[in-house]
Every structure is written in structure tokens, then in C-alpha cells.
Amino acid sequence: MKDSQFLNYLIGIVGALFGFLILMVILANLMSSDEKAQDSMVTDAINERIKPVGEVTIGAPKAAAPVAAASPKDAYQSNCFACHGTGAAGAPKLGDKAAWKARIAQGKATLFKHATGGYKGMPPRGGSSLDDAAIKGVIDYMVSQSK
């Protein structure tokens, strides 16, 4: 009798565990949500949180499109004055005839080359996005003010 009683307990326990397993599978399926069942606001919020925040660029960064200035004087004031108006980083100040004399003697082609390509502490294009014509205009303006 004891063997049949043990077998009945074993079958009961295995049956209960199997029933519990089936119940857990059903509950898991009910609790899991697929895309169709999600609220659109929830989906939008999730997409907002997981969107990329930037991109990786390998190689040289893309240069900003050159911009033409309204006038050479305006271009000088907005792009060149910070250094050439104060003498920062050894830049020759606008109107300083002694500082500009040797530079002007080199010719405007050299000044243009230095302005567009950078020279000593000055970055290419003075760190601006001025186009070539605007830079030539600024050079002409600075030379005319420093002769």
C-alpha cells in the first residue's frame, strides 16, 4: 500500500507542477506585449529614448559652406577684429603701419595664401566661413587701413 500511496503523491505533484507550468506560460503570453498592442504614445516615447544622439565621422570634418559678407569692413568686424583689432596671438593690429609694412611688401597673393591657409597662430580663413572673394575684400580693406 505504501508504494501505491507514494505513486499517487508523485503523480499529484507532477500534475500540479505541470499545471503550474501551463499557467505560467499563459500568464507570460498575456503579460508580454507586441508592437500592435502598445499604445502609440508609449512607442513614440521609447523611440525617442533610444534614438542616436550623434554620429561618428571618420576622416576630415565637412567644412562649412563659404559665406559672402555684406562688406569687407563688416566681414573684418565680425571675423577678424578679435585678433587684428586687439593684437591677440601676435596678430598685426589694423592701422599699425610698422607691423603691416613687411607684410604688405610680400604682396597680396602671400597675404591671401596666409589668410586662407592659416599662418603661425592664425587658423585657416581666420576661423571663419568666408568665401575667397570676401577674404580678398577683407585683405584689401586691412591693407588700405594699414598703409
CATH number at residue 120: 1.10.760.10
CA dihedral 34, 39, 43, 48 (to 10 degrees): -160
Whole-prediction pTM value?
0.53
Determine how many CB atoms are found less than 10 A away from the CB of residue 5: 9
Quickly tell me which residue has 585678433 as its cell: 83
Residue 82 resides in a domain: yes
31 plus 92 within the same structural domain: no
* Count of the separate structural domains present in the chain: 2
39 plus 81 within the same structural domain: no
Is the pLDDT reported for residue 67 higher than 60?
no
The C-alpha angle 106, 114, 102, rounded to 5 degrees, equals 30
**Portion of the chain with pLDDT greater than 90, in percent:** 12
Q: What is the pLDDT of residues 92-105, one digit of tens each?
A: 888 888 888 888 89
Q: What's the CA gap between 131 and 136, in Å, rounded?
A: 9
C-alpha cell at 40: 502609440
C-alpha cell at 88: 591677440
136 plus 87 within the same structural domain: yes
Q: What is the pLDDT of residues 19-41, one digit of tens each?
A: 999 999 998 888 775 555 567 78
CB of 35 closer than 8 Å to CB of 43:
yes
Cα 127 to Cα 49, 79, 103, 113, 131, distances in angstroms: 35, 8, 20, 14, 12
Residue 102 resides in a domain: yes
Domain span at residue 90 reads 72-146
The 8-class DSSP code of residue 32 comes to: -
